[in-house]
Structure 1
Amino acid sequence: MISITAPLILPYRLLPLNRNPSFLIRSSSSLQERELSSELYASAPFPPISAAKRVVLVRHGQSTWNEEGRIQGSSDFSVLTKKGEAQAETSRQMLIDDSFDVCFSSPLIRSKRTAEIIWGPREKEMITDSDLREIDLYSFQGLLKHEGKAKYGAAFRQWQVDAANFNIDGHYPVRELWARARSCWNNILAHESRSVLVVAHNAVNQALVATAIGLGTEYFRILLQSNCGVSVLDFTPRPEGGSPFICLNRLNQTPNSPIATGSSGGRKSSRRLVLVCYGATQSNTEASGATYGDLPLNMLGIIQSQKTAELLLDLKVHSIISSPKKACSETSLAISRVQEAADCLGADCVPRYVEMKQMEHLDVESVLQQPNRDATEVSALEPGWLNGYEDRITSEVWHQSEKAWQSLLSELSDESEPEKILVVVGHPALHIALMGHCLNLTKEWMGSFHVDAGSISVVDFPDGPTSRGVIRCINYTAHLGRWSIPITRSIIDDDEF
C-alpha cells in the first residue's frame, strides 16, 4: 500500500469561476436574497488529462461515533459498527462488476476499513492520502453534540448555521477543507488511471464534489453524503487542452433507499421534491437519449416506471406534477396507481389519495427539439450533453424551468399539510435545470450535471421552501435493478473504459 503525506499548503488565491462571477443565494434566515461571489477555492486550474477519467467517491460506513452522535472530525478513535460493515459490503456488491484501476483512501481507520471491504480481492494498488482525512474540527472533536452546544454556545451555533465562516482555535475548518480537497484532485488526476475509487468521509467528499464543479464553501451541507453513499464525477479532456471538462454524474447513491425517512444534513425536513425522469420511449436510441417524451413508453420504460413507483411506495406522496408529454403522463399514472393501492400492498393501513396535475412549464422537450446549429447529434448518455445545444436553446430551457421552479416552491409553501411531498415527472434536462435553480446557479452550470432515464433525484427543504434546498441525491438508479446503468459503465465510445 502506498501512502501520501500532506504537502505544505500555501496561501491560495480565489479565482472567479466561468463567465458569471456572481449569483444569488437564498438566505436561510430570511426571505431576502443576498448576492454572494461564486469563487473556486484553487491556486491553479485543474491539471490537464490525456483521456477521459471517471472518479467514484464513497463515504465510509457507519462508525461507532456516528452511532453515538459524537463529533468525529479528523480524529481516529472510531471504527465501523456492524451496520457500517454491512453497508460497506452492500457497496462492494454494488461495485463488484465495476472496473477500477486504483483506490485512493483516507488513512483514518473507519474509511480505510470501508475501502478494504469494497476493494475486496482486487490486486491493483490502494493509496492512502492524508489529505482525504475528514474535516479538522480541533476542540470540537470527541464531543457529543449536546456537549458541544453547552461548552461552546455561540461557536457551536455558528457551526450549525454558518459553517463556511465558522472559526475555532484560530482556524476556519471549512475553508481549510476546501483548499485540501482541491489539493486532493491534483493527486487523483495526475495518476495514470481511467477509473478511480476514492473512499473518504462526509465533509471531505462534499468538498471534493463542490470544488470539482466550482462551488464555494457556502455549499457545505447542501450536497448530502450518507454512509457508504456513492458519488460519480466524469473528467473529459478538452480538445484545446487545459483544465478538463467536469460533470457530476451521480450524487449519493446509497446502499439503502434514498427516500427513506431521515434527516438532511442533521435536520428533519417536512417538504420534499422527488424529481423523476421518465424511462425509455418507443423511438429512443442511445444517440438521441430521452428527447421523445411525446411518445409512449416502450417495454423498458414501463418497467422503469413500475420500479420507480415501487420505490416511492415508502413515501406518502401528496401530488404528482408532470409535463403534459405522453411518457410523463404514463409514468405519473404508474406512480399514482401504486400509491393509491398502498393499503392493498401493505404499505399503509388506509388508501391514499394522490392529486395529479400537469404543468406546461415542465415541458422542455419542445424546446430541445428545435433546430440546433451547434451539433448534428446530441447524446443524452454523455456527460455534459446539454453543452451540445446552442445558447439560445439552453437559455429558453433555463428560463422556462425557472418559472416551473417558482411554481413548485409555491406548491410546497402550502401550510395546510404538516408534511408535503411532491413528485415531479419530466425530461432529464428539466431536472438538471431545476437542481440548478435550487443551487442558485446560472445556466452555464447545466452541463455540470447529468441524470439518466428512469432515475430519481431528491431535494429536501429542512428550513422550508423559502430557504435553500438540500440535495439528497442526484441520478439515483439502484432501484432499477438489472436495468440500472452500472456506475463505471463506459459513457464514451470506449469499450475498455
Structure 2
Amino acid sequence: MSTSFEGLLNYQTLFFHKKPKYELFFNRKPPKFFPIQPSSSLQEIQNSPHSEQSSFPSIKSAKRVVLVRHGQSTWNEEGRIQGSSNFSVLTQKGETQAETSRQMLLNDTFDVCFASPLARSRRTAEIIWNTRKDEIVTDLELREIDLYSFQGLLKHQGKLKFGEAYLKWQKDAPNFNIDGHYPVRELWDRARNCWTKILNHQGKSVLVVAHNAVNQALISTAIGLGTEYFRILVQSNCGVTVLDFTPNAQGGSPHICLNRLNQTPYSPIATTSSDGRKSSKRIIFACHGSTHRGTEDNLGSTIDGPLDMLGIIQSQKTAELLLDLNVSLIICSTRAASMDTALTISKVQEAAEYLGADYVSRYVEMKQMQDLEVESILWKSKQGAIEDSQLQPGWLNGFDDGLVTEIWNRAGKVWKTLLEDLSNESEAEKNLVVVGHPAVHMALIGHSLNLTKEWMGSFHLDAGSISVVDFPDGPSGGGVVRCTNYTAHLGRWSMPVSR
C-alpha cells in the first residue's frame, strides 16, 4: 500500500506534542494542525462569493463511488470532539463494525480505495480492503473537519470553555467561526476538490473511507446541497453510502444519484438519536415489495397487481425490522401492493406482545391516502418499461416534466399531512410508517429536505427498501435523514449495497 503522504502520518508532524494528556489539555496552547496550505480564512470567505453548486469533471463511463465512515473510535466513545486530530484509534467495537462493512462489500470489485490518513479512518480502510492487491491512496483533503481550538474537548467542556461559540457550532454550524475560520464552509470547499480527484481517476468503482463530516460534505456537494445541510444526512460509524455518476451526453458535469445513504452494520431504527440529538418523532418510508404484472403492464398500474412471492417475503422482512419500533400510524397508497404491505406491518405490530417484542399490546391506526398513488401517473409516460428503467440510477430523469410535477405535487400534499400528524403535542413519541411506490417516496424525501422537484432524480429506491427521517427538533424543526434505500433487512433477497 502506497501513499504520497507517509510523512504526515506520525504524531510529530501532525502536532507539536506526541501524546495527549487529557487532564492537562486546557493548560496548553491549541494543537497545531496539518502542515498544509490553510483553508480560506474568515476574511477571505466573507469577501468572496460562496457557490453551493459544483461543476465536476466530465466522465466517459459510469462510475460508482462507495463512501464509508470509519468505525467507532476511542474519542467517539468518550464523547470528545475529534476534528482533524489524530490521537483517536478504533475501539474493539469499531474494528468489529469495520469487519461487518467488509462483509457487506465482500463481493464488490473496487478499482481503487481513497482514504483519510487519520489513524481511525486508515485502519477502517485496511480492514475493508483486506487482501485486495490494489493500493490504498491516502488523501489529506479527506481528513475530518478542522475544528481548531475545539479539538480534544469533551462536549460539555466545549460548552463551558467557549459558551456562545459552542452554541453557534451546535445550532448554526455553517456560520460558526473559530480562530478566524469557518470550518463547515472550508469543508465544503475541500469536498469539491476531493470530487475532482476521485472523478479524474480512471477507476469505475471507487471506495472512499473517511469521516462523518467530510462524508456529509461529499454527499451534499455531489448532489448540489449547500452548507445548511450539514448534520442533515446522517453518517453512522461504518455506514455505507453509494453515489452513482452517469456521463452527460452533452458533456460537462455528470448526472449524479444518491443510490443509498447510510447503510449501517446495525438496524437503522435501533437508536433514537440523530447525530447526537434525541428524536421522539420519526417517519419511515417503506417501499412496497415486488408485484405481479401483466404482460402489457410494465408499471403495475392498469392491473392493480398484488405482491408476488418475493414481495410477500419483502413485506414480512420489513414488518420484522419495524417490530423494534412502536408504530402509531401506517399510511398507505390505495394500490393492492401497498395495502398488503401495510397490513402485514400492522399484524406484526399488534402481535408484538406475543412475539416478545413488547410488554403490552400495540394498537396501530391505518389510513389510505389517494395522493400516495402515483403508478397511474407513471403509466402516462412514453418512456417504456419502468421495470427495467428502475434498475438505473436517476431513472425518473427520463420522464416528462409534467408527470414529474404531478408526482411532486401529490407528494407535497402527503408531506403536509404527515407533518400535521406528527405535530400532535399530546403524543410525546410517534413513529409513522408510509407505504407506497419508490417514486412517491423519492418525492417525499425531497420534500423532507425542502428541495424542489428537480432533485427527485437525485435519489434512488428499491422495492422493499426503507428510508428513515427523524425530527430531533420536532416536525417544525425540519427532518434529519437517517438512511435511504436501506435493504439489509431483506437478507438474501436484498439488493446488494453496490454492484
**Shared fold, TM over 0.5:** yes
- C-alpha distance 290-150 of structure 1, shift in aligned 2 (>3 A): farther
Segments of structure 2 that go 5 or more residues without pairing to the other structure are 6-35
- The aligned counterpart of 2:3 is 3
- The aligned counterpart of 2:384 is 376
Q: Deviations over 1:451-487 (max 9, x none)?
A: 1100000000011101210000000000011111112
- CA distance in 1 between partners of 2:294 and 2:409 (Å): 26
- The aligned counterpart of 1:344 is 354
Amino acid at match of 2:484: I
Q: Deviations over 1:425-445 (max 9, x none)?
A: 011011110111111111011
- The aligned counterpart of 2:242 is 232
Q: Give the secondary structure class of the aligned counterpart of 1:314.
A: coil
- C-alpha distance 237-202 of structure 1, shift in aligned 2 (>3 A): same
- CA distance in 1 between partners of 2:316 and 2:65 (Å): 30
| 1:280 and 1:290 in contact (8 A); partners too | no
Does structure 1 residue 298 correspond to structure 2 residue 314?
no
Does structure 1 residue 92 correspond to structure 2 residue 99?
no
TM-score, length of structure 2 as denominator length:
0.90
- C-alpha distance 310-486 of structure 1, shift in aligned 2 (>3 A): same
Shift of 1:377: 3.9
- CA distance in 2 between partners of 1:219 and 1:4 (Å): 32
Q: Deviations over 1:361-411 (max 9, x none)?
A: 1111121112x24x2344111111111110110001111110000000000
- The aligned counterpart of 1:316 is 326
- CA distance in 2 between partners of 1:182 and 1:391 (Å): 29
| 2:174 and 2:228 in contact (8 A); partners too | yes
Aligned residue among 443, 447, 461 for 1:433: 443
Segments of structure 1 that go 5 or more residues without pairing to the other structure are 17-38, 490-497
| 1:277 and 1:455 in contact (8 A); partners too | yes
Shift of 1:265: 1.7
- CA distance in 2 between partners of 1:401 and 1:212 (Å): 24
| 1:293 and 1:427 in contact (8 A); partners too | no
Matches within 5 A, 1:437-448: 437-448=447-458
- The aligned counterpart of 1:156 is 166
- C-alpha distance 216-298 of structure 1, shift in aligned 2 (>3 A): same
Q: Deviations over 1:163-193 (max 9, x none)?
A: 0000000000000000001100011111111
Matches within 5 A, 1:208-357: 208-283=218-293, 288=298, 294-357=304-367
- The aligned counterpart of 1:411 is 421
Greater fraction of residues in helix: 2
- CA distance in 1 between partners of 2:349 and 2:303 (Å): 23
Q: Deviations over 1:5-61 (max 9, x none)?
A: 667867796586xxxxxxxxxxxxxxxxxxxxxx32x4xx20011110000000000
* Residue identity (%): 68
Q: Give the secondary structure class of the aligned counterpart of 2:476.
A: coil
| 1:101 and 1:124 in contact (8 A); partners too | yes
- The aligned counterpart of 2:16 is none
Does structure 1 residue 83 correspond to structure 2 residue 90?
no
Q: Give the secondary structure class of the aligned counterpart of 1:232.
A: strand
Amino acid at match of 1:3: T
Q: Cα RMSD (Å) of the superposition?
A: 1.8
Structure with bigger gyration radius = 2
| 2:471 and 2:480 in contact (8 A); partners too | yes
| 2:299 and 2:379 in contact (8 A); partners too | no
- Which stretches of structure 1, 4 residues or longer, exceed 3 Å deviation after superposition? 4-16, 287-293
- CA distance in 2 between partners of 1:293 and 1:177 (Å): 50
- The aligned counterpart of 1:31 is none
Amino acid at match of 2:283: L
| 2:302 and 2:376 in contact (8 A); partners too | no
- C-alpha distance 288-147 of structure 1, shift in aligned 2 (>3 A): farther
- CA distance in 1 between partners of 2:377 and 2:4 (Å): 49
- The aligned counterpart of 2:494 is 484
Amino acid at match of 1:197: L
Amino acid at match of 1:376: G
- CA distance in 2 between partners of 1:200 and 1:292 (Å): 47
Shift of 1:3: 2.8
- CA distance in 1 between partners of 2:367 and 2:133 (Å): 53
- CA distance in 2 between partners of 1:346 and 1:83 (Å): 27
- CA distance in 1 between partners of 2:458 and 2:101 (Å): 25
| 2:293 and 2:300 in contact (8 A); partners too | no
Does structure 1 residue 394 correspond to structure 2 residue 404?
yes
Aligned residue among 133, 138, 144 for 2:148: 138
Amino acid at match of 2:399: Y
TM-score, length of structure 1 as denominator length:
0.90
- CA distance in 2 between partners of 1:264 and 1:369 (Å): 37
Aligned residue among 174, 185, 188 for 2:184: 174
- CA distance in 1 between partners of 2:108 and 2:169 (Å): 38
